[in-house]
Amino acid sequence: MIAAIAWRNVWRNRLRSGIVIAAIAIGLFGGIFSIAFMEGIAQQTVNASIALQVSHIQLHHPLFLDDEELKYRISGADSILAQLARNPDVVTATRRYRVRAMASTAGGGTGVEIIGIEPEVEKKVTNVWQKITTGDYFSTGRRNPIVVGERLAGKLKVKVGQKIVLTAQADDGTLTGGAFRITAIFRSDNSLFDETRIFADYRDLSRLLVLPENESHEIALLLRQPQKITSAAGLLASQYPDLKIETWREIAPDLGMLQGLMQQMMFMFLVIILIALAFGIINTMLMAIVERTRELGLLMALGMSKIRLFVMIMLETIFLSLTGGSIGMAVSAAVIHYYSRRGIDLSIVGEGLAAIGYAAHVYPGVAAPFFVILTLLVVLTAILSAIYPARKALKLRPAEAIRIE
């Protein structure tokens, strides 16, 4: 019964209700959207790094990561790869040799890391091949083909088609060198990566440095379900107790830190938004109560108990909040859904973003539970905000109230 009255009250004064509903909806939208936005940015950075270099999980000889010496290899890499191919959690796995070497050309010399890859399989795990600006990715036909970063090519003053002499220490300690031809030049967003990495076919590298073809320094893989990364890693660790298994968080801790930082910022931001919202609602409701002094006074004079009055006002607030909440949720969902497909072009805001690895396009996204929690929080805030004004209403004295002009 009170509910019905409350409901009618809400719609009786469309202006006032409209404002409160709009305030709640906007607050909710603002909160959800900014979180989705920040999440998008953090996610992009992480994904970009995973796709370029880190992958989800990497396997190494336990001593390789400290010393990076040629001899710390994964033996039986072939069979491990075959097993991983059958592993239902794994999308693709690839093997790599990693060797520190000297790259020299007539124009200069510099230290590099040669990554000996299986070109076609590597394409399925990392996306360097998509960042090629000139030339062809490992086109067959050239002997000892290599793919180098733009910055490195510039430093050594070479172009596609020209050679780089790579000198490294072979397994027996002797210095060996070989001439490799550049078949393609790539440009990633990571300048350090561009300047120090050379990709070669692992078979060519094995031949040069007398490394067994069935071994490797590193195996990297992508998971079908990246969220289940910890359990997948644990499973692999028990399957291959002699190897060191690491997730991308362990390999690139600064990425994980970025996400954490974003979340903390979000939390603080949310607190501020909720405070702003609460005040907005308290104010508007207070004003409304002040305006309805006569009406409320009349109700009290007619016999409505204080409790029922309180409940009525609270119900009005609840209805307002729910309406505002639903609208806010709907609008947020629609906008986020739209932009999560198209992406927001951030290049207007500054080209600085690309340099640090933030993608120029951000795809906002919010996990479903987050969405719901946020909505509940906003609605709760709205309801709590109504308590003070409602109590104020109770303090009205009916006789005085009626007399107000």
Q: Which of residues 158-187 bind other proteins (CB under 8 A)?
A: 158, 162-163, 165-169, 173-179
- DSSP summary character for residue 225: S
Closer CB to other proteins, residue 108 or residue 212? Answer: 108
Could you say which residues in the range 91-130 bind other proteins, by CB under 8 A? 100-102, 104-111
Could you say which residues in the range 67-86 bind other proteins, by CB under 8 A? 67
Does residue number 400 form part of the binding site for other proteins (CB under 8 A)? Answer: no
Q: What span, in angstroms and rounded, lies between the C-alpha atoms of 402 and 202?
A: 91
The token pair that represents 139 in the structure block: 């086109």
Among 268, 368, 369, 395, binds other proteins (CB under 8 A): 268
Q: What span, in angstroms and rounded, lies between the C-alpha atoms of 126 and 86?
A: 20
Contact 247, 229 (CB under 8 A): yes
Q: What sign does the CA torsion over 236, 252, 155, 170 have?
A: negative
Does residue number 260 form part of the binding site for other proteins (CB under 8 A)? Answer: yes
Does residue number 62 form part of the binding site for other proteins (CB under 8 A)? Answer: no
Total number of residues that touch other proteins (CB under 8 A): 78
Closer CB to other proteins, residue 234 or residue 350? Answer: 350
Does residue number 141 form part of the binding site for other proteins (CB under 8 A)? Answer: no
Does residue number 16 form part of the binding site for other proteins (CB under 8 A)? Answer: yes
- Min dist CB 162 to other proteins, Å, is 5
Closer CB to other proteins, residue 161 or residue 212? Answer: 161
Could you say which residues in the range 280-299 bind other proteins, by CB under 8 A? 280, 283-284, 286-288, 290-291
- Min dist CB 268 to other proteins, Å, is 7
Among 129, 137, 202, 358, binds other proteins (CB under 8 A): 358
Closer CB to other proteins, residue 93 or residue 185? Answer: 185
Does residue number 33 form part of the binding site for other proteins (CB under 8 A)? Answer: yes
- Min dist CB 256 to other proteins, Å, is 7
Could you say which residues in the range 316-355 bind other proteins, by CB under 8 A? 346, 349-350, 352-353, 355
Closer CB to other proteins, residue 158 or residue 366? Answer: 158
Q: What span, in angstroms and rounded, lies between the C-alpha atoms of 402 and 405?
A: 8
Closer CB to other proteins, residue 84 or residue 296? Answer: 296
Does residue number 275 form part of the binding site for other proteins (CB under 8 A)? Answer: yes
